[in-house]
Amino acid sequence: MVEQATPLPDFAQSGESLEQSSIAREPIRLQAQQLAVGHGQRIVAQGIDLDLGAGQITALLGPNGGGKTTLFRTLLGLLPPLAGALLLDGLPLAQWPRRQLAQRMAYVPQGQTHVFTYTVLDTVLMGRAARLGPLAQPRRQDRDIAWQCLVQMGIAALAHRNQNEISGGERQLALIARALAQQPSLLIMDEPTASLDFGNQQRVLDQIQVLRNAGMAIVLSTHQPEHALLVADQIALLHQGRLIGPGPAQAIANAEELAQIYRVSPAQIRKRLGWLLG
Ligand SMILES: Nc1ncnc2c1ncn2[C@@H]1O[C@H](COP(=O)(O)OP(=O)(O)OP(=O)(O)O)[C@@H](O)[C@H]1O
């Protein structure tokens, strides 16, 4: 059966985009000082220094199991630091109320399915929870913002579909829309382009730059160094328990370093990425 087009609310048809919308982003600064991250007593990476601020895209590269997700979950306050300091706007992260953290930072996790069956629109509306009172229902404005985020990610037609009955790539776009609906100042994205087709990869990379230009701080991980080289203002490599960088993209992600972390030759890196390596 051919699917019926989903009717859009008026504003969605107006073509207004997120950066033109009323979404306000306060400046933000997240600093890690000699941070150690890990699980239980097991340290995955240590000695990490980071200074993440508004209007900046930071890309994190590293091999499978290198600790990228562990670092992200620590930066978000979901895992406790095992050593060092983590400061949000100068105040230890642990001292921030959970709700205020959710208003400042949003997370796009690696693609996941859920036990509960929500529509795509309801999933995106959940991003508004941090902005509502404890028992408050979403208001018209919250629905408008959720729709706007769906339009921005090009998935408004999926709004009423069950999020467990859409493709992995579509679900990935829905997770990004949910994070945008949170109106964060800092957006942490764990492999945001994984499982997306070429066009959607490009659209997500474009959106990331639009958000950066609108003043958001963005940190993303990727297994595609070319994506980092295309959009990042700074790159960091997480390898063997240490963070190299962040620093200027082409200085950090050079053929020799990339060859080491991915266990290939510099010539293989140059063959694939030469035009981007500078
Ligand atoms: N919940 C957990 N409990 C204990 N160890 C974990 C847990 N999650 C991950 N690890 C371990 O921590 C290390 C880092 O894993 P992490 O998921 O942070 O790596 P990653 O760089 O995000 O990997 P990938 O690129 O494959 O997604 C790995 O050795 C992994 O086995």
Distance from first CA to last CA of the chain, Å, rounded? 50
Q: Using 50, 70 and 90 to split pLDDT, how confident is the model at 1?
A: very low
Provide the phi-psi class of 55: left if phi over 0, else alpha when psi is between -120 and 50, else beta: left
Q: Does ligand 1 come within 6 angstroms of the Cβ of 99?
A: no
Residue 57 has pLDDT above 80, yes or no: yes
pLDDT at 169: 86
pLDDT at 113: 62
Residue 2 has pLDDT above 80, yes or no: no
Residue 66 Cα to ligand 1 midpoint, Å, equals: 7
Q: Do the Cβ atoms of 35 and 50 come closer than 8 Å?
A: yes
Dist CA 111 CA 173 (whole Å): 9
Q: Does ligand 1 come within 6 angstroms of the Cβ of 64?
A: yes
184 or 26, higher pLDDT: 184
Q: Which of 23-27, 86-90, 232-236, 259-263 has the lowest mean pLDDT?
A: 23-27
3-class state of residue 159 by DSSP: coil
Identify whether 246 is preceded by a cis peptide bond (ω within 30 of 0): yes
- The mean pLDDT of the chain is 88
Residue 212 Cα to ligand 1 midpoint, Å, equals: 28
pLDDT at 25: 62
Q: Which of 162-171, 242-251, 253-262 has the lowest mean pLDDT?
A: 162-171
pLDDT at 136: 79
Dist CA 258 CA 237 (whole Å): 9
Residue 230 Cα to ligand 1 midpoint, Å, equals: 26
Whether the complex's predicted ipTM is more than 0.90 is answered with yes
Picking from 163, 59, 151, the residue whose alpha carbon sits closest to that of residue 112 is: 163
Which CATH architecture best describes the domain 10-277?
A: 3-Layer(aba) Sandwich (3.40)
Residue 224 has pLDDT above 80, yes or no: yes
Alpha carbon of 148 to those of 92, 156, 173: distances in Å?
33, 8, 13
What's phi and psi for 242, nearest 5 deg?
-130, 150
Picking from 191, 194, 220, the residue whose alpha carbon sits closest to that of residue 75 is: 220
Domain layout of the chain by residue ranges = 10-277
Residue 149 has pLDDT above 70, yes or no: yes
Residue 60 has pLDDT above 90, yes or no: yes
Dist CA 173 CA 170 (whole Å): 5
What is the rounded average pLDDT of the residues 163-176? Answer: 89
The one-letter amino acid at 255: A
pLDDT at 7: 42
